[in-house]
Amino acid sequence: MRTMIARPGTAVTPTNPVFPTIRGGWIEDEEKRDNDRGPERDETDQYHRLGSYLHRLVLEEDATIPRERRTPRTLQEMRARINFAAGNACGACGGAGGTTVDTSSGGVTRRSWQRCGPCGGTGQA
């Protein structure tokens, strides 16, 4: 059995301690306080806000450019331009091969691509 000297002339044994049980220390106390606060917001929220801001900025600036002078950025825009120039663009999708559909639920907006039914996604009539 181990014996510790806590005060001069006083012996403390693990089975009969004079002082309360020694805990892990300061780091464990801070971790417990942090856990007691509960989940915190993700620290990457600022980057998501920046991405949303830049996306909105690009869309606003693109809207100021006349459609005939706008450079196609996506495959669908490139396909639509080629099919339209060739004179065989689908009437339903304008030669893009489909449309972008916005859906939102739970405060989150999602953009998804849906293929055109009449042309089967080729963009050609």
Q: Is 95 exposed, middle or buried (0-12, 13-18, 19+ CB in 10 A)?
A: buried
Separation CA 14–CA 1 (nearest Å): 8
User: What are the φ and ψ backbone dihedral angles of 69, each rounded to 5 degrees?
Assistant: -100, -5
pLDDT, one tens digit per residue, over 29-84 is: 888 888 888 777 776 677 788 888 998 998 898 889 887 788 888 888 888 888 88
User: Does a structural domain hold residue 87?
Assistant: yes
Separation CA 90–CA 97 (nearest Å): 8
The listed range with the strongest mean pLDDT (23-27, 58-62, 109-113) is 58-62
What's the structural domain count of the chain?
1
User: Does a structural domain hold residue 38?
Assistant: no
User: Does a structural domain hold residue 15?
Assistant: no
SS3 16: strand
Q: Tell me the whole-structure pTM to 2 decimals.
A: 0.41
User: Does a structural domain hold residue 57?
Assistant: yes
